[in-house]
Structure 1
Amino acid sequence: MTTSVLSVVYVNDAPAAARFYGDLLGLSPSFETPGYVTFALGPGADLAVWSGQFEGLSPDVPRTGEVCLAVHGGGPDQIGAIFEQWRSKGVTILREPHDAGFGLTFLAADPDGNRIRVAPRG
């Protein structure tokens, strides 16, 4: 059986979210519809943003998911450089770089409030 991992991030506006993630990741979508957009992250890993059809779901509903972008060779200098780049783009930072036991990490949010963690890949 061939397996892959697809992480889905629920958003209010899939095209806007796709522009946000595409800019952060330096990627173009691999699949795109008006309400669902995916990015190929590498062999067996994809990220999707989906506005879905959730009747009665208010855009004000807080998001509780977290996407972790695990950086290959993510030493403190590399994590710090990504943090500075994102901050210069105006990305909402929820927690500045700190040691979390597995290495230096920081936490950001997308425009819908979904959490995005950047951490070293173990």
Structure 2
Amino acid sequence: MSSSIVFIVYVNDAPEAARFYADLLDIKPSFETPRYIAFELGDGADLALWSGQTDVLTPAVPRTSEVCLALPGGPDSIDRQFERWVAKGVRVVSEPHEEVFGRTFVVADPDGNLIRVAPVD
């Protein structure tokens, strides 16, 4: 049986969030409706932005999950990605530093959702 997984990120404005993620990740949506936009990530995995559950969604609400972009290339590639994203004006939550799994940093999307960059395991 084949299966796929969709990671859903709740946002206030799906088209606005899709523009942010498309620019940040340099990808285009694979599926679009006014309130639900998905991006194919490969190998049966999608990232979806959904504005259907926003009753209490504000950037001030603490987030307990993250979307993680795993990059090959070691610490230098993590630092280069950080510099590219800072140049785009993203909100930095945690600057590059060493963790048990390697070099990492965290930024936030306009709704406060966390995006971590870390090395490929």
TM-score (norm 1): 0.92
Give 1:9 deviation, angstroms: 0.4
Residue 78 (str. 1) matches residue 96 (str. 2):
no
Give 1:36 deviation, angstroms: 0.3
Post-superposition Cα deviations, 1:21-65, rounded to whole Å, max 9, x if no partner, equal: 0001101100000000000111111100000155xx134361513
Residue in structure 1 matched with residue 102 of structure 2 by the alignment: 103
Which amino acid letter does the alignment assign opposite residue 101 of structure 1?
V
| Runs of 4 or more above 3 Å deviation | none
Which amino acid letter does the alignment assign opposite residue 79 of structure 1?
I
Post-superposition Cα deviations, 1:77-118, rounded to whole Å, max 9, x if no partner, equal: 111110000000000000000111111000000000000000
Which amino acid letter does the alignment assign opposite residue 41 of structure 2?
L
Gaps of 5+ in 2: none
Give 1:74 deviation, angstroms: 3.7
- Inter-partner Cα distance in structure 2 for 1:41 and 1:59: 25
- Inter-partner Cα distance in structure 2 for 1:9 and 1:96: 22
TM-score (norm 2): 0.92
* RMSD of aligned Cα (Å): 1.3
Query: Matched residue of 1:47: which SS?
Result: strand
- Inter-partner Cα distance in structure 1 for 2:81 and 2:42: 19
Aligned length: 119
- Inter-partner Cα distance in structure 1 for 2:115 and 2:9: 10
Residue 62 (str. 1) matches residue 61 (str. 2):
yes
